[in-house]
Amino acid sequence: MIREVAWRVFAGEYNESTCVFSEGGERAPSYVVTPLGAKINRLLVVGVITEVENIASEEEPMWRARLSDPTGIFYLSAGQYQPEAAQQLSKLKPPAFVAVMGKSRVYSPQEGTLYVSIRPEMVKEVSEDLRDYWVLEACKTLRERITANKESAQMDPPTKDGLIALGYGDKLAEGIVLARQHYGAVDAERYSSMLIDALRYLLPEYREAPEVKEEPMSEEKEQQETTVMELIESLDKDGKGASWEDILKGAKKAGLKKEDLEEATNSLLDKGLVYEPVLGRMRKI
């Protein structure tokens, strides 16, 4: 079997994926297809590990981790079937610059809902310079996919052979066709903004931005956080965390808009008051 290419792709693109593709057959690989057409079976990502925890037992540990890049968060998990990666994760002391090679992984708690993560094969602590080099490489591949998508938009319909004729590789050409079939036309300008932000992240002046004094939280925002915290606590019936679907339903009944729910949840995560024991669940600390 041919070893799959490890894609360099940002979390901001990968986490928006809702398309899973398999070529059929018992041993055929499966792929996560991103909105821009990256057809991913394996990834190489580099960023900052911000959290590592064992969510199982000491005898049979299951390590979960969050890895941050300039566009978002990758979610990692490794257990008894990935012993080397699990051991490497267990030794990390966040925050740390880390490179991860791994397989794409999907979790679908119900029809129409899909979460993506990474099952690590290799985890290695690296330097900040290597992280910056990866960001630059990921920017190059992101730019290629943006350009390919713009050119595919001129085709009616876009075809794999047509894209290959324009100079794109076989994998990307096939991925773009699959992405257009699943997602339809994508907002290329939004991904162009992601590219600009990632490149800006490499500039010294961007990292050394002046400290901004935070304004005190409004009573409304404070109440929204309290409501979300109470929801998470009340919906966690088995100690494994409240499912995001139940939190959404509860928030709707409480009169919370989805954007206010997400803002309140992100704030609670940043404050360390809640965490994600597994992808798609929230639990009070």
pLDDT at position 215 is 58
Residue range 159-180: average pLDDT? 94
Q: List C-alpha distances in Å: 44 to 172, 209, 211, 239.
A: 17, 29, 33, 33
Residue type, 123: V
Ordered alpha helix ranges (H), 38-187: 83-90, 128-152, 160-165, 170-183
Best CA proximity match to 159, nearest among 183, 140, 178, 186: 178
Dump pLDDT digits (tens) for 235-254: 988 888 888 889 999 999 99
pLDDT per residue as tens digits for the range 70-89: 999 999 999 888 889 999 99
At 20-45, the pLDDT tens digits run 988 776 677 889 999 999 999 999 99
Residue with tokens 């119900």: 110
Q: Which residue has the higher pLDDT, 279 or 242?
A: 242
* Assigned fold of 219-284: Arc Repressor Mutant, subunit A (1.10.10)
Q: Quick check: 114 pLDDT over 90?
A: no
**Does the pTM exceed 0.75?**
no
Q: Dihedral of the CA atoms 87, 90, 94, 98 (nearest 10)?
A: 10
Whether 210 has a pLDDT exceeding 60, the answer reads no
For the domain made up of 1-207, the CATH class stated in words is: mainly beta
Which residue spans of the chain are classified as CATH 1.10.10.10? 219-284
Residue range(s) in the chain whose domain bears CATH number 2.40.50.140: 1-207
Q: What is the chain's mean pLDDT, rounded?
A: 88
In degrees and rounded to multiples of 5, residue 283 shows phi and psi of -140, 140
